[in-house]
Chains A and B, each alone.
Chain A
Amino acid sequence: MVKLIAQTACAGLLPKTIGSVTVTEVDAGQVTLIAPHKGQQKAVSAALKTSVGVGFPAPNRSVGTGPRTVWCGKEQALLIGAPCPSLAGAACVDHSDAWAIVQIDGADTVAVLARLTPIDLRANVFKRGHTARTLIGHMTGGITRLGAQSFEVMVMRSMAETLVHDLTQAAENIAARAQNAG
């Protein structure tokens, strides 16, 4: 019997610390895309809340920190970090291992991300628990604020290396500017 070795999307690429910013991979565990059928969102949310502890998120929001749900498009969300319960009113698709998810922390995190995405990341606009589907460089992905200087960025797994490359380059540029200024 062949023994396959499970590898995360960013294996061998992360963690990295560049200037004031640290990039680490998030091993999300089980991930399921949930798309409630028409008119079923409330029922699906209630069922999720009962079995996983978090409901279906409003647009541009994420809910929970252990098992969590992250909005990821019109009438769609990802359930992360818990097995998907049986949901009669929704289409559920296994996305485990389908995403490259990284966490970025540090003083210059917003400055680094601002080089890659067109959305407004200022703390008074994009708060903790806010999430956005947007562009990250040339890729479509998701950005979620976890804390004052902490964000999660996710793209499809096939683009893991590009994501790390783009984040590294942006962080190096910001770090170089800080060094020159000092």
Chain B
Amino acid sequence: MRLPCPICGERDRREFYYQGHAGLLDRPTRDADPQAWVDHVHFRDNPAGETRDLWHHEAGCGAWIVVTRNTVTHEVSGAVLAEKSK
């Protein structure tokens, strides 16, 4: 498996650390409803198809990136820097 780091180019999966769904970037506000926090911390969708994940290019440039991949076909279709993904 290879991931397209926006800074380093296509790299081996071993260089990356997997964090979880990119929805983690959408942090509820401090005073948000407790249910919003429960959803944010505990609940994830399990899509058949396209999904976006957070990866850390740990053994590379050190950037956090958002990778778009397809859970059915395993196709990796792109990646952007997490700081530019919103």
Residues of A at the B interface (CB closer than 8 Å) are 59-60, 73-74, 76, 118-119, 132-135, 140
- Whether the pair A135, B61 counts as a contact (CB closer than 8 A) is no
| Nearest opposing residue in chain A for B10, CB measure | A120
- Whether the pair B11, A74 counts as a contact (CB closer than 8 A) is no
Q: Which residues of A contact B63 (CB under 8 A)?
A: 74
Residues of B at the A interface (CB closer than 8 Å) are 7-9, 11-12, 14-15, 58-63
Number of A-B contacts (CB under 8 A): 36
- Whether the pair B11, A119 counts as a contact (CB closer than 8 A) is yes
Interface of A is mostly: strand
- Whether the pair A60, B8 counts as a contact (CB closer than 8 A) is yes
Partner of A140, one of B7, B9, B11, B59: B59
- Whether the pair B15, A118 counts as a contact (CB closer than 8 A) is yes
Q: Which residues of B contact A134 (CB under 8 A)?
A: 11, 15, 59-60
- Whether the pair A133, B14 counts as a contact (CB closer than 8 A) is no
- Whether the pair A133, B12 counts as a contact (CB closer than 8 A) is no
- Whether the pair B15, A74 counts as a contact (CB closer than 8 A) is no
- Whether the pair A59, B15 counts as a contact (CB closer than 8 A) is no
| Additional 5 contacts, C-beta under 8 A, given A59-B61, A135-B14 | A73-B62, A74-B61, A118-B15, A132-B8, A135-B15
Q: Which residues of A contact B14 (CB under 8 A)?
A: 118, 135
CA distance A2 to B85 in the complex (A): 56
